[in-house]
Structure 1
Amino acid sequence: MRILGLDLGSKRIGIALSDALGWTAQGLTVIHRAGRARDLARVLELVKKYEVQEIVIGLPRHLDGRLGEGAEEALAWAAELREHLHIPVHTWDERLTTLQAERVLLQADLSRRKRRQVIDKLAAGLILQAFLDNRRQTQAEKER
């Protein structure tokens, strides 16, 4: 079962994809924002191409848990994708994922230009991986 992860930014949308078993997330691509309809069409193409059965969208939150800037857009995207695709679309707390991605890329000693090219899909991968890990842990706890 493939799951697509989205990190919605103001200029780019980071995209990650799970493996077929839903265990690991890998950064897939970045969509450069070109208007809501075009952005949505591109995501729908990816869903079809990779036979995606679920979607996870990063939900911005402040450190205290309140919804952050961009949360309204993430919730609107979730509703629109559910309507178009009729598959489960989840939101997932994305607190600090961009900061975490930046740290990983700094440790990899990538130049600022190269970091900018991959940070969004890495952040999407971190969001999706956290979702997958939580799902696996929840299932394991239910089986005990």
Structure 2
Amino acid sequence: MALISVIGLDIGSKRIGVAGCDRTGLIASGLTTIDNKSFAYVTDQLSQIIRQREATLLVVGLPYTLDGAVGAQARRVKKYTRRLANALNLPVTYVDERLTSVEAEQQLQAERRFSAKDKGLIDRRAAAIILQQWLDSSRTSRNNECPT
């Protein structure tokens, strides 16, 4: 089994939730939340995480509108992500992140770890959900490939 290291991001105007996966690419977990103080600050924080984890790809949640369109928020996230990918010299892929924050909140409530004041925890969990969706779909794609 190939070892992978991928970083998942839930990009918001105030905070960025960051998730990573185990080296087998099976399980995503929240790592941290970065205050979106400035582009330079975010880039510096992410650079450290990427170096430590030897990450080779960014998986970013794209906030489509509920009807599946690319709205203003999704365009902002794409623009920001392009700058990040260039600054970090990493490829990027997107995952539909509709309702991941709601799902993250529900999971935390079920675990009795929810506090409406801890938005950072919600952002980290949302990033983990985004990354887990990508891991699951990429694993399914790899399993369906024909042997050569």
Question: TM-score normalised to the size of structure 1?
Answer: 0.90
Alignment of 1:1-144 (within 5 A): 1-113=4-116, 115-143=118-146
SS across alignment from 1:133? helix
Q: Look up the equivalent residue of 2:128 and give its one-letter code.
A: G
Q: Which runs of 5+ in 1 are unaligned?
A: none
Identity %: 35
Structural RMSD (CA): 1.8
The CA deviation string for residues 15-49 of structure 1, in whole angstroms up to 9 with x for no partner, is: 00011121210100011121122112211221112
Question: TM-score normalised to the size of structure 2?
Answer: 0.88
* Structure 1 residue 50, shift from structure 2 partner: 1.2
* Structure 1 residue 111, shift from structure 2 partner: 4.5
SS across alignment from 2:103? helix
Q: How many angstroms apart in 1 are the aligned matches of 2:59 and 2:133?
A: 10
* Structure 1 residue 87, shift from structure 2 partner: 2.9
Alpha carbons 1:78, 1:91 under 8 Å: kept: no
Q: How many angstroms apart in 1 are the aligned matches of 2:146 and 2:108?
A: 37
